[in-house]
Amino acid sequence: MSTDLRVGIGYDSHRLVEDRKLILGGVQIPFDKGLSGHSDGDILFHALTDALLGAAGLGDIGHYFPPSDPKWKDADSEVFLAHARKLIDDNGYRIVNVDAVIGLERPKVGPHRDVIRKNVARVLGIETDRVGLKAKTAEGMGPVGEGSAAEARVVALIERRS
């Protein structure tokens, strides 16, 4: 028996700025800065959305939610991820697992890891043990290492439902 497995990769980055909330995976993290962006700047949800859409060959986040559209100004990025999940379902796939790395000098993501994983799992309709999440610093290199930006990289595995 063969299975139709597909892998997608997602990436997003935003500057850290004042007067914004820091949202990662739909969870507000206490910090004095947040991520810039047309929506809420949630790099994890943005990268997850792109990874899922890419795995199914359905384009990218900008195709469905263009930053030029004022409708998405300050939007909750959960809307984007939930839409990607619906497209995955509608096209006959199911999400097997996702794995993510957040690049952020500070604040530390570790204390928020479990609640972020649970929230991602909830939005995707999968078990929490199917959501991998790691955080890394950039050891002082580049905008992430200098503390002026954050980034997320995600891999998603989907399979055709039988």
Mean pLDDT of 46-65: 96
* Residue type present at position 52: L
Handedness of CA 65, 38, 116, 100 (dihedral sign): positive
Q: How distant, in Å, are the alpha carbons of 52, 113, 129, 133 from that of 157? A: 8, 21, 14, 15
Q: What structural domains and CATH numbers belong to the chain?
A: 5-160 (3.30.1330.50)
For tokens 């984007």, name the residue: 80
Q: Is the pLDDT of residue 133 over 80?
A: yes
Q: What does the pLDDT read at residue 70?
A: 86
Mean pLDDT of 13-17: 97
Q: How far is Cα 73 from Cα 53, in angstroms, rounded to an integer?
A: 21
In whole numbers, what is the pLDDT of the chain averaged over residues?
95
Q: What does the pLDDT read at residue 1?
A: 47
**pTM greater than the 0.85 cutoff:** yes
For tokens 């399979």, name the residue: 159
